[in-house]
Each structure stands twice: as C-alpha cells, then as structure tokens.
Amino acid sequence: MPFEVKACSIDEMQRHPTFADRTQAKVKVLLREIRSRETFDHNLTLRVWANTHDKMSPSEIKTALLVKAAAILKRTVSVAEIEVSGDGAVTRPTVSG
C-alpha cells in the first residue's frame, strides 16, 4: 500500500495559551493511498506543536511545525502499512515506513 502526500498546509497557527515558548497549529494533509486497482484519498488534520521563540521568523516557525507533522505522518503511514493476516499474523513494516 504505497501512500503519497498530495497536499499539505498549515491551518490555525497560534501561540500556545500556557507555554510561551510553544506554537501550535493544525496541519491539513491530503494523503493518497494506492492499492492494486483502487485509489483512496484521505483528508487528515494533524494537531502539532513546536518549541519556538520570538526571534524566529514566521517561515522558521512554519518549517518547525511541518517537521513535526512529517514525523507524525511517517509514523501513521508505517503503521498503516503493517498487514494482519486472517490468522492474526502481523507483517513487518515496509521499507517506505
């Protein structure tokens, strides 16, 4: 089951209400799953946060948030690629995971 990230954008970015050195956001991801003859599009919303400070530029903050989103997405995809057979046997994650 290969997956492709078709789109990714930051939505609702804001400073954390309690922790001054943290920025939080929602990252919208369009993930395409390709099976043998079928294609499925999944719209995901990832809640992410990054440690930031006032001297960081907006682009540096966005990059930090996207790095967090990429780590979450990688874990999600690697778990989704684990197959469970009818007898309950679990395969290992693929190289792409």
pLDDT score, position 15 = 92
Residue that the structure tokens 């799953």 belong to = 33
The answer to whether residue 97 scores a pLDDT higher than 50 is: no
Residue 93 in domain: no
Residue 28 in domain: yes
The answer to whether residue 14 scores a pLDDT higher than 90 is: yes
35: domain CATH number?
3.30.160
Residue 10 in domain: yes
Q: In terms of pTM, does the model score above 0.85? A: no
Residue 97 in domain: no
For residue 72, the enclosing domain spans 3-80
**What's the total number of domains in the chain?**
1
Mean pLDDT on 69-77: 89
Residue 36 in domain: yes
Residue 49 in domain: yes
pLDDT score, position 43 = 92
pLDDT (tens digit per residue) in 41-60: 989 999 999 999 999 999 99
Q: Residue 75 phi/psi, 5° resolution?
A: -65, -45
State the DSSP H helix or E strand holding residue 81, giving kind and residue range, or none if neither. Answer: none
